[in-house]
Amino acid sequence: MHDDRRAPGGRRDDRRPQGGGPRRDDRGGRDERGPRRDGRDDRRPQHDERGPREGRPPRHDDRRPRRGHATEARGLALEAIHQMRERRAFAQDVIGSVVDTSKISREERAFATRLVLGVASTRGTLDEVIDGCMDSPDDASPAVRDALALSAYEIIFLQKSPHAAVDQGVELVKSVAPRAGGLANAVLRRVVRAKESFPFGDPRTDIRAYARLHGFPTWLAERLVRDLGPQGAHDLMAASNEPAPVFIAVNACKAADEEVVSVLAAAHGEPEPVEVAGRRVEGCYRLASGLALLDGRVRRMLSQGLLLVSDATSQAIASLVVGDAEPASFLEVGAGRATKTILDQSCARRRFGRQVAGYVTVDAHAFKTKLLAERAAQYGAEVAEALTGDGRDLDALVGDRLFDRVFVDAPCTGLGTLRRHADIRWRLRPETIGEQAALGAALLASAAAHVAPGGTLAYATCTVTAEENAQVVDAFLASEEGAAFEVVPYARPDLGVELPYFSVALEPGGPDAHFLALLRRRA
């Protein structure tokens, strides 16, 4: 779901280049298993490739990984994957605490990050492959499975040399279960053989094979094909398995583009201005990689709030919502940890020479409101009131006040941000889509009552399902409350067309997929 910590499918907006607190969601079948207490994980598979007998297994073979002869990057990746399962933590959080804080080289860190995000993204498919390569899948402890999954990811999805991947995989398994080397060797050799027939069917005609090919749950692949068509689904699924590009926003509340750009250039970030859907996004720059963000001078600017890491489509949405006419008041519903708040105020400062004085935020969670206030202060973004409460009952929070802009940054399934929020696809349940759509619709209806005559109502998501996007807005416009609003179309100068809504698809190399509807209350 769109943003931070919440029920299955949550996503967090933008924090680190790749990629979201303790989420308590479903982790999927395999991860739900507790550690075995019978020490059976290092039993060899019952087939003719079994290795030499290695004696009795240790009593606790699900200990935290100890580094054997696996490379440091793989050892750290395994530690992160292990923590994701044990603490039910999100990939981005463990990358921050385990990988980003390590002393390994930048290149190794990037590789470890790729492994963690890759395994989190494709975990269900990897478990299916591993199950098929074991005679008794239940015999491997969760910790051994983590190590096998990491190596299977390298073999199946990174096309690594089978020899090196198996060798490293055996070392990784031995680092958590010293006597399970034989099992690991046998299973991973089978994985190498299985790769020849992967995805086990014709992806052109078999949706299960198609889903496996991209490391997606079958139901979700089906849904994406239905909603986006074969090409759109393919683009989204392929792009979701690639590293996300790195975009930054210069925070105009505190800095000028030139000073930030010159420091980024000196740090070899190669900052490039960015266009989204045919329009330049002011203050938005693409970096050649995330490595420049690790430079000491850039880190100082980040901690001083002169720039923030934020997807380019998020920045484009903030720019469109702020608009060309200066608003005197602004209500943001679903304000989370203030990323859009900062982008909105930065945009107002850039465009009108000052921030919006009456900027009010609402979020359902008190801990987010606290973080929002802290972050807004760090970035110099003015917030008149930061409220906690249910946006479906805004009357209880803001009374009968009307605002020039009311922006619903809606909770959603987050399917447009799968590169940064690797866990979403296996946490989502089919029914979450409808639940999020219903919540978005209720927030929109509640928000509509607080739009001043001539003011703008904005509804945004970072997902791609029609049910959560256009269908919510179309149903609202057809309702009694919606009759007072008209659509403000999005003109694409590059295509010479006007579209009812702004939407960006997820394509390889591009920014995240988001949706925005701008509606104006008739004066």
- Binding-site residues for S-adenosyl-L-methionine sit at 363, 390, 409
Spatial CB neighbours of 367, under 8 Å, sequence gap ≥ 6:
none
> At closest approach, how far in Å is the CB of 393 from ligand SAM?
9
Task: Select the span of 40-48, 291-299, 327-335, 478-486 touching ligand SAM (CB under 6 A).
Answer: 327-335
Nearer to ligand SAM, 363 or 468 (CB): 363
> d(Cα 192, Cα 198) in Å, to the nearest integer?
10
Q: Does 31 bind ligand SAM (CB under 6 A)?
A: no
In 398-484, beta strands by DSSP E: 403-409, 451-461
Judged on CB neighbours under 10 Å (0-12, 13-18, 19+), 196 is exposed
Query: What are the backbone dihedrals phi and psi of residue 355, each rounded to the nearest 5 degrees, phi first?
Result: -80, 165
> d(Cα 282, Cα 257) in Å, to the nearest integer?
9
Query: Does residue 253 carry a catalytic annotation?
Result: no
> At closest approach, how far in Å is the CB of 18 from ligand SAM?
17
Q: Does 411 bind ligand SAM (CB under 6 A)?
A: yes
> At closest approach, how far in Å is the CB of 3 from ligand SAM?
3
> Which residue in 219, 326, 312 sits closest to 274, CA to CA?
312
Tokens for 283? 């203050």
> At closest approach, how far in Å is the CB of 380 from ligand SAM?
17
- The residue annotated as part of the active site, out of 253, 284, 412, 462, is 462
Judged on CB neighbours under 10 Å (0-12, 13-18, 19+), 200 is middle
> Which residue shows structure tokens 């209720």?
442
Q: Does 2 bind ligand SAM (CB under 6 A)?
A: yes
> Which residue in 205, 219, 127 sits closest to 415, CA to CA?
219
Annotated binding site: 363, 390, 409
Spatial CB neighbours of 15, under 8 Å, sequence gap ≥ 6:
92, 309
* Helix, strand, or coil (residue 408): strand
Tokens for 70? 């696996």
> d(Cα 201, Cα 208) in Å, to the nearest integer?
8
Q: Does 409 bind ligand SAM (CB under 6 A)?
A: yes
Q: Does 13 bind ligand SAM (CB under 6 A)?
A: yes
> At closest approach, how far in Å is the CB of 24 from ligand SAM?
14
Site for ligand SAM in 388-407 (CB under 6 A): 390-392
Four-residue CA torsion sign, 81, 213, 109, 270: negative
Task: Select the span of 193-201, 239-247, 258-266, 384-392 touching ligand SAM (CB under 6 A).
Answer: 384-392
The CB density around residue 79, as the number of other CB atoms within 10 Å, is 24
* Helix, strand, or coil (residue 9): coil
Nearer to ligand SAM, 9 or 336 (CB): 336
Q: Among residues 365, 492, 520, 521, which is the contact residue for ligand SAM, using CB under 6 A?
A: 365
Q: Among residues 70, 91, 129, 335, which is the contact residue for ligand SAM, using CB under 6 A?
A: 335
Q: Among residues 17, 20, 305, 334, which is the contact residue for ligand SAM, using CB under 6 A?
A: 334
Task: Select the span of 101-109, 210-218, 331-339, 493-501 touching ligand SAM (CB under 6 A).
Answer: 331-339
Q: Among residues 8, 336, 416, 440, which is the contact residue for ligand SAM, using CB under 6 A?
A: 336
Nearer to ligand SAM, 120 or 362 (CB): 362
Nearer to ligand SAM, 110 or 513 (CB): 513
> d(Cα 29, Cα 25) in Å, to the nearest integer?
12
Site for ligand SAM in 258-297 (CB under 6 A): none
Q: Which residues are catalytic?
A: 462
Q: Which residues bind ligand SAM (CB under 6 A)?
A: 2-4, 13, 333-340, 362-365, 368, 390-392, 409, 411
